[in-house]
Every structure is written in C-alpha cells, then in structure tokens.
Structure 1
Amino acid sequence: MTTVLVIAKEPLPGRVKTRLTPPFTPAEAAALAEASLSDTLSAVAAAPATRRVLVLDGTPGPWLPPGFDVVPQCAGGLDERLAAAFGGCAGPALLIGMDTPQVTPDLLTVDFTDCDAYFGRAEDGGFWALGLAEPDPGLLLGVPMSTPSTGAVQRARLVAAGLRVRDLPVLRDVDTAADADAVAALAPHGRFARRLALGAAAAHR
C-alpha cells in the first residue's frame, strides 16, 4: 500500500488562486481554492492508502477531514518542498496537488508491482501527480517548476534514472477562470462546481 501526499496552501484570500482575480474577488478565489482542496482530500480519503498526509503551508481548517496527518511544508522553492515531502516517506508514495478537484479515488489507486513511478501530466505543461515506489528527493531537486516544460523535464528525470514510468491521464489544473469552468463541468457534483455556481449566481443578481 501507498502513502498519499497532498501538497497545499491554506485557502486564505490573497494567498491562493490569485490568477482567478479578476474576475473573482480574493475572497471568492479563496472559497474556490477551499472547495478544490476539499474535493481533493475527499478523493484521497476514499482511495486505498496506508497513510494520508497533508503537506500544508498554513494552518488546518474545518475543511480537513479525519484520517490525515498534517506536516508543514519546508522552506525553499517548490522543487525543494516536493522533495522534502517525499523525503518523509519510508515506502511507496503518490503526491498530488490541490488544483485538480476532478480527481477520483480510482485515479489515485496505484500499484507499483511492475513499475517504479507514476506520472500525471497537467494540460498546462506541469504535472498533477507523481508516484515513486522508492521515494528519492534527488529526483525532484533542481527541476524548474511552474514553467510550460516542468512536466517534460520531471518525467525525463525519472526516465534518466532508469525508472519504469507509468503515465496517468492528463488532467487540467485550475489556474484561470476558464480552467475553473472546464474543470467544474468535468465534476459537476463536487464542492468546487457548487461553489463556482454560487459565485456565478451571485454575479448575476
């Protein structure tokens, strides 16, 4: 069985989803971020795992379901924070972010029997999931993050290390308002879609 890690920021106005502002206010963007995180944590809670860990920048809130260990993110760049998250795992681990509320428990059900790594590319060129049978922080350190080539560089790093990589489906991150609309349509019954609909209804009053 696998440890599932979720790396996330506390959903506070002005600190999360800033690219949604405008058209959303900072408070609305934070509410969407909270809904996205809640949907993600619910999927992780329903997926098979030996341990579920929230690697958090900030303080847990009422959105955190039971069954999760909470560890603080370390200082440094995103590559260093992701590396440290894997460094705290003793066995197989799968790491995801908080930007894909359409994720399902099935997508998070991984088996390392005949592979060494799982890789989930994001539509924007990054990646939404990375799984390692033997977590090695060195596989992430130095990978340029938040660029259109991040995913390609990270996957190439895995292959260069001799790992057998299994690809997960490509998912769309929520960064912009257009992303929010598209992702909500993929998971219309989730908290994220409901929160987005509430915001749209308020805007047309």
Structure 2
Amino acid sequence: MMGSVWTAVAIGLAMGIVFGFALEKSRVFEPGMIVGQMQLRNFIMLKMFLTAVATGALVLAVLHGFGFVKLHPKAALYAADIVGGLLLGVGIALAGACPGTTLAQIGVGYRDAIFTLLGGLAGAVAFSYAQPWIATNLIGTGKPLIFTDLVGLPYWQGAVGLAVMLIAVLALMERWRPWRDDLGSDVDGSHAASTEFKARIVPAE
C-alpha cells in the first residue's frame, strides 16, 4: 500500500514539475494572457490546457493500463457544471488569474495574486461547509458518464483517440494563430491590445 502511495506521489511531483515548467515558459500565468484568452484576443492559454488534457489522457491510459492508478469517474451533473463554469469564468476574467496560475503569479512577484489565493482558499472552505446542503437541495446525485463505456471501447483506446483529436485541433489552431503572434512584444499576451490602443490615440501620418 505504501509503495503505491509513494509511486503516486512521485508521479504527481514529476508531472507537476513538467507542467509548472511549461506554464512558466508559455507565460500563461500572465494576467494579460489570461484576460486576453477570456476576451478571445489570444489563444495561448487554450492551447496550453488542451495540450495538458491530451498529455494527461495519454499518461492516465498508461498508468491505468499497467495498474498503477484506478479511475474514479465523477457523476455527470450538467447544471452544476454549467453554473460552476460560468462563475469560474467570471472570476478568472475579473482577477486575471485562474486556480492553476495563482501560485506562479505569486512566485514572479504579482502581489495582487496573494489576495486571489486567499479568496480561493476562503471560497474552498466555505464550499466545504455548504457542499452537503448544496448536494442535497440544488445538485442531487448523478450517474458517472464514461465515454469509452458508451461506445464500448477500452479506456486506453478512448484516451489515445482523444489525444489524437486534440493534437489535430492544436495543429490547426497553430496554423491559424501562431503562438509567437499571440505572445506579444513584452511576453505578456497584451501586444495586440496595446497596438490597437496606440492606433486609436496616435493618428497615422
């Protein structure tokens, strides 16, 4: 039992280091990058997280196939997912941060991110106390929905298929909007916005 726990911890740390390195190099933690994605001005954040989904699907397929991890799918609760997604999106747009980037922002010196972190922790504590009532009165229970079960495929085949589909989507997105164009001259994703602003206030000669 202890061996499997330490294996899971080691794998989690390794994946976290790789993800954190990619997050920093892609500059996705920059508030300008995050707000730009929410306003559909740049798409580096979407590319980054679609890449993470594809990579995670492949890693889980391997780990699950060799018996290192056991999957525990959550119930499909569409109303809760939609409401929660909208609330999260509004919070991300207002704060210029998301749960996965707040610590990175603190690490590079964004002081306002400390308040975002404190707000997130306060919200998590409040939800932990309210969750039993919410689950009983607002959300209810649902049945786990697993795509591979619906189509009659082994999990690894579904994961590989999802990864291939996402890679194709990412390739098309990169051809449409190269990441260098979205990164901006200050590597913060706000180059397009600043250029538009300057064009409005400085008439062309």
| TM class, shorter-length | under 0.3
**Structure of higher CA gyration radius:** 2
Structure with more of its chain in helix, by fraction: 2
Structure with more of its chain in strand, by fraction: 1
> TM-score, normalization: structure 2?
0.24
> TM-score, normalization: structure 1?
0.24
The one of the two structures with greater contact order (alpha-carbon pairs below 8 A, sep at least 6) is 2
